[in-house]
Structure 1
């Protein structure tokens, strides 16, 4: 057994982490499998960049809605944090809008995560089209609807590669989701979430004023640098039943730009991962935890509907703030480091407490956002995975294929396309039948039988 002695959060005692050789080999192999292929990344980024650049140009030159002209792009999410797993098929883009001075008040029972956002004083600027009856409160619903309308208008005239379609807007999501439909049904769909965000430069809300707990990890100076940056609000209200009408117009605070920076510059020493001699396994451990969470959700979509990768990323940040030294994240100890991270996440589920890394009084594992029955199910599922050697991690990753540059695209809105979905299915059935016949013939011939006689 491989044994590693690691400091606990108090730094005075030690925990023994045991990893069997078999589990160590599996974790290492799974970590290698989760890496993105460069060819897939290049093709996906090319498609997404062209789409976003064209959308921004459209918004800036659109005379229909002047408020959306002053827009800039902020990339976020796992791909830009370089912790995306399996395939580059999901991209998160924030469209930032500058607004006049604001006031904001936290919704009760949510401890500083959701806010009502108002203008400091009445204005005649273009944002007045998105205010409620009091001429001060900024409507999250109106912003989302207008964003959705403009993106739909843009897509209807978009001349880029492939066939992009727009998803129906969901009340619980702040994003407008676009999907690039693949040519065949077996290929993965490429999706882009476009999230409107209000940039608030006058300081963080009181609930987050202390900043993230990174003094022992990245240092006090880095924390002060983060808290001096602008904060963002995205149009998303609480996930709860019987929500008041006024609460449906609330905004969620977003720290995605700082989260990306913390993951990119993750070392206790500024030189971590700058060369082959000072690599660490932090991001690899997060990829493994994300893979575990994704696998559990695929197997139990109903029971673990409340679970998402953000829970894993939050636990990851808490672990980094305790295990701060780069020497504790040696690539040679990736299995031990992952087990430490998994153990921290499992203990959070057992105790029912996973505090937001920036808003320290908000528990991500508390109802109604995370129902108690879901938490019990998650606790049991994590225990079962640990005791049975993580079978979810042993499953192979699905293959990924992007739509080729010059291939025809199956699209209901296509004008010049000649290939139909029915034709594609018929062709696939014929090809499958030929393959089966060839394989059977080969097997028979191997045993001295003449199959084709």
Structure 2
């Protein structure tokens, strides 16, 4: 499969989210009856991860990550300055059910343009004549290095590692992702029509974000590889006590909405009769819908927005609007998922019972 370069945008927090729940209520709020509300809250409680399980899993991941990073810095010349970027559902606090999957992103600082000169940068040998990066060769070497670092560990195929924890015998998956950290005056031109947060977080916050680094990630677009959860800037999602609408007395539930939609997709995927139609959908579609909606209080509205995108077979990346996240899903698959969601909406979410 061809590899494509995707922009991985930085994490951030904002001090301009006050009153957003009140505004969202006035603009978009929909009432939820007591029975349905209780069901959704009970489902949220069911999705919570036990602290002991989270602690054991994160300890295992941190130990393996430290070993991999040490090996990379000592044995791979162009990885000597490799850094860790804390992103993904674990760090966004939107992981559900079990701490069984972790994304570990490793980034390498680079200039805006790499020069074809051996003294300029360790990545020069991966540079094409047209100054583009040979992503496949770079990732192949990165994958071999990660595999070498954990070769004594069982169940460790290439970059996505499956590790059995000693404490409880459960298997967790660790996905190592390589990115290039780029500093420049602003984000790439193809993001100029995206990231619409002016009326949400304010023009000043958007301007501040545009001056922070962005990350280029080369990854598979084929079957079995989904859009990466960490692409969404975790600070956009509510939940920080100092930056959220909770300051004015409203309990923001954006993260709860996202967890419920992730769980709904997960339950549909686990149904053998529906899994084939569901193969092209992932939690990043849920996150992108949430960002476009800019809602704070309503799971039903989130689902209705998602259904609209599915009916059109078009869900633009929040940061790169020219990139349609549903381009690989067939119209029949999109209609199938839209029908399934509408069925759950009209039947008080039987799938959660």
TM, length-normalised to structure 1: 0.65
Quote the residue 2:199 is aligned against: 216
Deviation at 1:67, TM superposition (A): 0.5
1:123 and 2:82 equivalent? no
Is the partner of 1:302 in helix, strand or coil? helix
Is 1:148 the counterpart of 2:130? The answer is no
- Long gaps (5+) in structure 1: 1-5, 103-118, 158-162, 169-175, 241-251, 330-336, 395-453
Q: Which residue of 2 aligns with 1:291?
A: 263
1:195 to 157, 163, 177: 177
> What do the CA deviations read for 1:285-327 (whole angstroms, capped 9, x no partner)?
111111011111222221111100000000111122xx3xxxx
Match of 2:214 among 214, 225, 231: 231
**1:60-99 residue pairs with structure 2 within 5 A?**
60-62=73-75, 65-99=76-110
**If the length of structure 2 is used for normalisation, what is the TM-score?**
0.82
After alignment, is 380-389 or 297-306 more displaced?
380-389
Gap runs ≥5 in structure 2: 1-21
Superposed displacement of residue 9, structure 1 = 11
> 2:324 maps to which residue?
363
CA drift at 1:239: 3.9
- Counterpart Cα distance in 2 of 1:238 and 1:193: 16
- The 1:238/1:41 distance shift into structure 2, 3 A limit, reads closer
1:390 partnered with 2:349:
yes
Q: 1:211 to 1:350 in 2, by over 3 A?
A: closer
RMSD: 3.1
* Counterpart in the other structure of 1:160: none
Residue 312 of structure 2 corresponds to 351
- Structure 1 residue 353: Cα displacement: 2.7
Cα deviation, residue 86, structure 1: 0.6
Paired with 1:34 and 1:165, the residues of 2 have a C-alpha distance of 27
1:429 counterpart residue number:
none
- Choose the corresponding residue for 1:263, options 215, 237, 246: 237
- Structure 1 distance, partners of 2:233, 2:347, is 33
Larger Rg: 1
Is the CA contact 1:82–1:264 (under 8 Å) kept in the aligned structure 2? no
Q: CA, structure 1 residues 127+48, in 2 after alignment: closer, same or farther (shift >3 Å)?
A: same
| Alignment partners' CA distance in 2, 1:308 and 1:144 | 23
Change (3 A) 1:228 1:93: same
Pairing partner for 2:53 from 31, 36, 40: 40
Change (3 A) 1:273 1:54: farther
Structure 1 position 210, deviation (Å): 4.6
Alpha-carbon contact 2:227-2:284 (below 8 Å) kept: no
In structure 2, the residue corresponding to 1:79 is in which secondary structure?
helix
C-alpha separation between the residues in 2 aligned to 1:67 and 1:345?
41
Contact 2:228 2:284 in 1 (8 A): no
Q: Number of residue pairs matched?
A: 325
CA contact (8 A) 2:238 2:253 kept: no
Spell out, residue by residue over 1:140-176, the C-alpha distance to the aligned partner (whole angstroms, 9 max, x if none).
111111111101111125xxxxx553225xxxxxxx2
SS at match of 1:194: strand
